Every structure is written in structure tokens, then in C-alpha cells.
Amino acid sequence: MRYFRWMALVIFLLVGVSNLPNALACGGLFCQNIPVDQQAERIIFTVNGDGTVSAYVQINYTGSAPEFSWVVPVPNTPDVDVAEIATFDALSNLTAPVFIPPQMPECGMMAIPMAAGSGGPVEEDGVTVLASGTAGPYAYDVVTSPDPNVLITWLRTNQYTITEEMEPLVRVYTDEGLVFLAMKLQPDQGVQDIQPIKMTYRSQHPMIPLRLTAVAANPNMTVITWIFADAQAYTTNYARPKIDDANLRVDFTQFGGNNYLQLVDQTVDLYQGRAFITEYAQPTTELLDFAPTDPLLLEFIDQYDYVTRFFGRISPEEMTVDPTFDLDDKLPDVSNVYDLSDMKPETYWQCEDAPPVEIFFDPDAIPEGFQ
């Protein structure tokens, strides 16, 4: 079994890497700077078992250091720290879908191809500064106000970017009782010093504030999310379509490519973008078979029993609901390895007699919270 997994990983590195979406761009999932090119975002959540959730968010940014700022709504004042990009890369490599194709037929060969924060809350011009401090290259403030206009003015005065498109969303999150973590680079730090952010806050369930992301997102933006907890995670208010040969048949090309992203887009579009595919769901000890060396990943494996990976593709106009997640220890494991080596080759290598791919709407994938 271990040999098979190593072979699967090798095949993924040789065949699948070319199909991973690019991760270029602005300041992470919620940064609203210019230029913006949010094509892919990666987030790691840990459900800590003590009434808190930690969110690790990769920040991608192109632009000058003085223009960088990052504003995100959170349920309450978080502890803020930094992490390493290597953890995201290690998780991506170990949990991404791996498709082992059948042997290439003749027709396939002819195909065309944390630092400590401040003490207590401080009132400033109608805004409550709940915490301030530094973490790695960043300076940050956690702020709230009953008046969103006053809050927006304070953020702009303190060099945090709030565009006109963001203003109504700031009001929405303020009305819902959320506070805002605002970050910028310290004066002596440059763009090359940017690191992923870790936030730990009081909550029972992970949540991604996608509504604010909409003002800076590209069409079909990829969102990859991992949740470490004591059981498998699932989306409570997004559809949960499954990957299987019945409704998501992967075709291959002679140059190592496949149509996985296209099929995911077609599937997610059936649910108006409101869908996450569970690409991997296994006990964390399964990751040890690959002998990971990243220190934070090893810490996750030691502290949490289970890891779930979600894959979503969503456009700005579809980002109308913030996805939330919960846990269920009765859900079956999900492997990321799809061994198609025994299948009929012509079906998977884009031959002329291959049946067309059909995408099916699955009403069972709709949760009760889906509207």
C-alpha cells in the first residue's frame, strides 16, 4: 500500500502539476489592493477543541509595499501570528487528486494536445481598537464600530485600503456583529517579506468570508481549503457534489494534461458556484506514509485526528453566501487517488469513439442550509 501511494505521488508530480491553477496576486483572500489578480486562494483551518478555530491564510501580492493592506472580518478579536508557505505546498502535494490513466491507445497518441498585541480596547474617533500589535512583517489593528461609515473613515485614515465596492460589505459584516482585522507591512518590511497569516479566534465552526472577496476576485477563482479536526468536515450551506466515474469522467491528453478543472467548473456551475468538492478526507496519520518534513504539518498530524480538503471554483457574482463548515465522524473517508489503469483506454484518451462526458445534478448534494 505504501509503495502504491509513493507511485501515485510520483505520477501526480509528473502528470498533475501542470494542471494546478496558478496562485498569483493580491493580498490573500480578502486583500483589496491594486493591481489585483486573485486566481487561487489556499486556507488551512484547525478546529482546536477548546472553543477556538485557527485560520492560516496564504497571502499572494503583486505591488509595492506601501500599497499593501489586508482587511478581513472575524467573529472576535483574534490572536495573530505568521506561518510558512512551505506548509501549504506540502499539503497541496500530498492531498491533491491523483489520476492514474489507462495505457495510452493508438488513438490517444494521435490526439492533438505572533507578536504580543496591545492591552485593552482603546476608543479612537468612534472606533474601538480591540487590539494592536505586530506579527512577522506585519503591523495590525483589530477594530469595530457600530457606525460602518466611521469605521471606513478610520481604516482609510490609518492607511488601510477600503474601496467603494467594499463599503456596503463592511456594513453587512458590521451589522452581523463581526469585527475587522486590518494588516499592513511595517515600514522596514518589503513585499519579499510577506508570509501567510495565522488567526486564532473564538468559534466552533470555520467560515470563509467570501462576500468581501467578491470585489477582488477573478472568474472561476479557485479556493482550496483544508480543515484539521477530530472528524471529517463538511460544508453546511454549500452543495457537496462527489467525484466519481459516473458524473466526473476525466479525459487525458498525450502531453500529461487532463480536463479535471473543466469538469469541476461544469459541475459547480450546476449549483450556481455554491459547491465544494471533497477531494481528500482521511485520518492525519495517513499523511505519515509520505514522510512529510514540514514542522507545522507534523504538528497538525500530531494534534488532530483528521484532515479534509475542499476544492471550489467560484466567480465574483456567485459569492453571495459565506461558506461554513461542521464536523461529522460518520462520513466515509475520501481518497485522492483515482486508479483508472484497468478502464477501457479509448474512453479516457479523447478517442473518436469515446462517449461524451455527462455532468449530472445531484439533489442529494444539497444541504438543508442551501438557499
Q: What is the pLDDT of residues 185-231, one digit of tens each?
A: 998 888 888 889 999 999 989 999 888 877 766 788 889 999 999 99
On the 0-12 / 13-18 / 19+ scale of CB atoms within 10 A, 302 is exposed
Q: What percent of the chain has pLDDT over 90?
A: 40
Cα separation, 132 vs 143, whole angstroms:
9
The residues with which 283 forms a beta bridge, in sequence order, are: 306
On the 0-12 / 13-18 / 19+ scale of CB atoms within 10 A, 337 is middle
Domain borders along the chain are: 2-262+272-365
Sign of the CA dihedral running 233, 234, 236, 238: positive
Greatest mean pLDDT among 117-126, 191-200, 246-255, 281-290 lies in 281-290
Over 80: is that where the pLDDT of 242 sits? no
Per-residue pLDDT, 98: 80
What value does the mean pLDDT of the chain take?
Answer: 77
Candidates 179, 343, 366, 368; CA nearest to 272 is: 366
Q: For the segment 165-187, what is each residue's pLDDT rounded down to a tens digit?
A: 888 888 888 888 889 999 999 98
Higher pLDDT, 30 or 237: 237
Split at pLDDT 50, 70, 90, the class of 336 is: confident
pTM (predicted TM-score): 0.79
Question: What mean pLDDT do residues 273-296 have?
Answer: 93
Cα separation, 297 vs 86, whole angstroms:
9
Split at pLDDT 50, 70, 90, the class of 333 is: very high
Per-residue pLDDT, 123: 79
Over 60: is that where the pLDDT of 26 sits? no
Per-residue pLDDT, 104: 55
Cα separation, 137 vs 158, whole angstroms:
17
